[in-house]
Amino acid sequence: MKLSTGREGFAGMGSGFRFQAGNSGRYCRLLLLSGSFLLLLIYAYTAHAGTSLLDNEKKELYSQGTEYFHQATQINDTDPAGARDLYNKALLRFERLVEEGEIKNGKLFYNIGNIFFLLDDIGRAILNYRRAEQYIPNDSNLVKNLAYARSMRQDKLEIKDREKILQTLFFFHYDLGTQTRLLLFSIFYLSLWIFAGIRIFSRRPFTSWGLGVTLFFTLLFSISLFAESRLARVNHIGVIVDAEVTGRQGDAESYQASFEAPLHGGTEFTLLDERGAWWQIELPDGRSSWIPARSGELVRAK
């Protein structure tokens, strides 16, 4: 994986300005305010610079994390405790690359998801697989691992009937990755202009058919891509990362439980509302509940 963080004019102007008591006070306040603002900018810059990683540090962290991961897989069967320790060391380095190195790419999130899965943390495994999905949606290994992790969840929730119908009717939107749909859109869009050019010189029936078909699929995939982009900004998809959490009917522990059984790690949801340290979420089957915000994380950070 490529880590992929003129003195004369001044004197003349000065000699023409006379200080008065009121002007002097306003000037001093303006100077003090400007100086404070400058110090604030300097502090913000140095604070940011202090937390970011240099390129060689990023490479070293990735190299160390990869080495620890390989060592762990080699001894996983013979020394499970030692392997867990090495997995955690690899995880610390990969997470530093995300948080301090500000590196966000599919392969890195995929590796983090794999480590969490091997550490039996299904919630954070699915969370990082979903994050990786934003960058490498068509990666076959990612698709398989995400599907397998979902099959290991304790909560088996059916999606809403409306969602089932939409997924059946618009299967191309749900089954094809973003890059595939973008490629198909480009092909049909280019073909549309080719048929439009041919149409200028020829009135044969096939040009009308070609224009109609390419226009239809160009609009179809453009709407699909636009809808996905829009929903990504509006919908806040998240994953429960706690091993177990009780959903409440309101935003406090004093409210009654929403369901007979608690929710478990790996359950995906849509964030509906926030009130302090509580989130109102909607589950795939359409039911809603309140959970502590610390019990879940969003796939796309706000």
- pLDDT tens sequence for the chain (302 residues): 444 333 333 333 333 333 344 444 544 444 444 444 444 444 444 444 445 778 899 999 999 999 999 999 999 999 999 999 999 999 999 999 999 988 888 999 999 999 999 999 999 999 999 999 888 887 889 999 999 999 999 998 877 656 666 666 666 766 676 778 888 889 989 988 988 888 788 777 778 888 888 988 898 888 888 777 766 555 689 999 999 999 999 999 999 999 999 999 999 999 999 999 999 999 999 899 999 999 999 998 65
Burial 135-161 (b: 16+ CB within 10 A, else e): bbbebeebeebbeebbeebebeeeeee
**pLDDT tens sequence across 144-195:** 999 999 999 999 887 765 666 666 666 676 667 677 888 888 998 998 898 8
282, 300 contact by CB (below 8 A): no
Give the pLDDT score at 181. Answer: 82
Give the pLDDT score at 231. Answer: 64
Q: Which two tokens stand for residue 31?
A: 């100077």
Q: Which two tokens stand for residue 94?
A: 């990969």
Give the pLDDT score at 89. Answer: 97
CATH number 2.30.30.40 given to 236-298: yes
Helix (H/G/I), strand (E/B), else coil: 298: strand
Quick one: which H or E segment has residue 35?
Answer: helix 21-51
Give the pLDDT score at 232. Answer: 58
DSSP string, 171-184: HHHHHS-HHHHHHH
- Give pTM, 2 decimals: 0.68
**Domain locations along the chain:** 7-51, 162-234, 236-298
The single-letter DSSP state of residue 1 is: -
Cα separation, 62 vs 20, in Å, equals 63
Give the pLDDT score at 37. Answer: 43
Cα separation, 50 vs 235, in Å, equals 33
Cα separation, 163 vs 168, in Å, equals 9
Nearest to 84, CA basis, from 96, 93, 97, 73: 73
Give the pLDDT score at 135. Answer: 86
Length of the chain as a residue count: 302
Give the pLDDT score at 121. Answer: 97
**pLDDT tens sequence across 122-132:** 999 999 999 99
Give the pLDDT score at 192. Answer: 87
In a 10 Å sphere around its CB, with 0-12 CB exposed, 13-18 middle and 19+ buried, how is residue 282 labelled?
middle
Nearest to 265, CA basis, from 109, 87, 125: 125
Cα separation, 170 vs 165, in Å, equals 8
The single-letter DSSP state of residue 251 is: S
